[in-house]
Amino acid sequence: MEFLNTIRFLPNFTQINGGIFLLLLAIFLLYSFSIYCGYLLIKKRNIKGLNLSVYNQLIQIIGFGVLGYAFHFTAGIYGGIKLNLTNDTIATFMFGHSMARIDINNLNGLTEISINFIAIILLNVIFHLKNKVEKIAEA
């Protein structure tokens, strides 16, 4: 079904206005930031790469949707739980790859919050590696 949604979205590129362009630019910049963090680590600029990776993972931990506004972003795989608080509390498990959703003034009225456990685990690994690299740099 996701493939069909993508195909349906493609003809709408002819109707991009300033607001849609800014949203697409924001999503592009978030993915670019994630790639830049990985690039720094590949080039052995470990301290800067790990510091920026902390911010990258923090952005990906919590997603929300409230009063027509929503933000969910994950670069890579995600796995966690989503709580739909619209009428009742409905918990669903999430698992997938790379997702970006920014809604502004959407009329669906969903109230939800999501927590990405994989981002939390990666954040823990990054802090552990950061401490290791700092100890090696001190020696």
Residue 139: both structure tokens together = 């020696």
Could you report the per-residue pLDDT of 49-78, keeping only the tens digit for each?
999 999 999 999 999 998 888 899 999 999
22 vs 95, higher pLDDT:
95
Is 119 within 8 Å of 64 (Cβ atoms)?
no
Q: State yes or no: pLDDT of 107 exceeds 80.
A: no
Domain boundaries, the chain: 18-138
Residue with tokens 């949203």: 23
Q: Which helix (H) or strand (E) holds 87?
A: none
The answer to whether the pTM exceeds 0.75 is: yes
The mean pLDDT of the chain is 86
95 vs 11, higher pLDDT:
95
Q: Which residues pair with 101 in a beta bridge?
A: 72
Nearest to 76 by CA among 121, 9, 20: 121
